[in-house]
Amino acid sequence: MNISVVIPLLNEDESLPELMAWIERVMKANQFSYEVIFIDDGSTDNSWEVIQDLRAANEAVRGIKFRRNYGKSAALNQGFQACQGDVVITMDADLQDSPDEIPELYRMITEEQYDIVSGWKQKRYDPITKTLPTKLFNAATRKMSGIQLNDFNCGLKAYNKRVVKSIEVYGEMHRYIPVIAKWSGFTKIGEKAVAHQARKYGTTKFGLSRFINGFLDLVSIFFIGKFGKRPMHFFGAIGTLLFGIGFFSTIYIGIAKLISLQDGYDRKILIADNPFFYIALTCIVLGTMLFLAGFLGELIARNSSERNKYHVEETI
């Protein structure tokens, strides 16, 4: 099978027939063998009934229905597990992503050998309350990940099948799939400018909270990708540094006290009266706690079922 189109959705019953008809036209015009997987993320409208009707009219349609709303990441992850095509295309169900982009995305994966091709909505039909924070997060993600993409959050992406079968998407991580893929060893990541349509039906399903959650997930990805299998390298290093600062500061304060006594200064002035003593003590306590956190994290990592989960490219 050439292409799997994975479409997560929530309350998009009005747009689904039009979207499916559009995809069919593109697939037939290019003679692709394909499947379209709709993942109903707990819709409360007639989306599932529409998917069932589409399935009855076209055997290439597949549907997965969640019992409740789990989020876009969970829907994509389920779609990735179910897909069978050599190239996997993801897009939103609101008709803002154009299926006409599919042939070129497919070509870039199959002929130019990209692992991922991410869409870039150069001209967007979204309010500034959505576009401005998105630009800030894209800039932050580029800086932290080193991946030079203009639009990490574009729903229209193409993947080599081996990518989606090697990664796990959860939380709000769908925005950072290229980052997850990079940490899994898929480094050939490209970008294509794509058309963006104004929303035709319904309203957006994402609120302002997604920007806070997205930033926290970016930090999680960065930390887990870099130190997930060796937490002692992070916590232990910082803990040792703080403990060392506190320990040697305490020795310095003690020596200074002994010198002051020898020089005949007031014996009633205690070491504890020196504010730097409490700073040194705090460094020792924090350093010990961080070192223990790294040690416990190392024990957990070494006993984890995924401690030796690596991505093997090829065997002979």
- pLDDT attached to residue 34: 97
Instruction: Encode pLDDT of 150-164 as tens digits.
Output: 888 889 999 999 999
Residue 86 pLDDT greater than 90, yes or no: yes
pTM: 0.72
Binned at pLDDT 50, 70 and 90, residue 204 comes out as low
Q: Give whichever of 54-68, 127-141, 283-297 has the largest mean pLDDT.
A: 54-68
- Average pLDDT score over residue span 303-315: 51
**DSSP letter at 199?**
P
- pLDDT attached to residue 308: 45
Q: Give the whole-angstrom CA distance, residue 255 versus residue 269.
A: 14
- pLDDT attached to residue 210: 61
CB 181 within 8 A of CB 157: no
- pLDDT attached to residue 180: 87
Average pLDDT, the chain: 84
- pLDDT attached to residue 126: 63
- pLDDT attached to residue 127: 63
Residue 315 pLDDT greater than 50, yes or no: no
Q: Give the whole-angstrom CA distance, residue 229 versus residue 84.
A: 31
CB 12 within 8 A of CB 201: yes
Q: What are phi and psi of 249, to 5 degrees?
A: -65, -40
- pLDDT attached to residue 196: 79
Q: How would you class 206 by CB atoms within 10 Å of its CB: exposed for 0-12, middle for 13-18, buried for 19 or more? A: middle
- pLDDT attached to residue 227: 67
Residue 311 pLDDT greater than 60, yes or no: no
Range with the poorest average pLDDT among 3-12, 17-26, 212-221 = 212-221
CB 214 within 8 A of CB 172: yes
- pLDDT attached to residue 221: 66
Instruction: Encode pLDDT of 257-295 as tens digits.
Output: 787 777 666 556 677 777 888 899 999 999 999 988 888
313 half-sphere exposure, CB direction, 13 A CA radius: 5
CB 162 within 8 A of CB 61: no
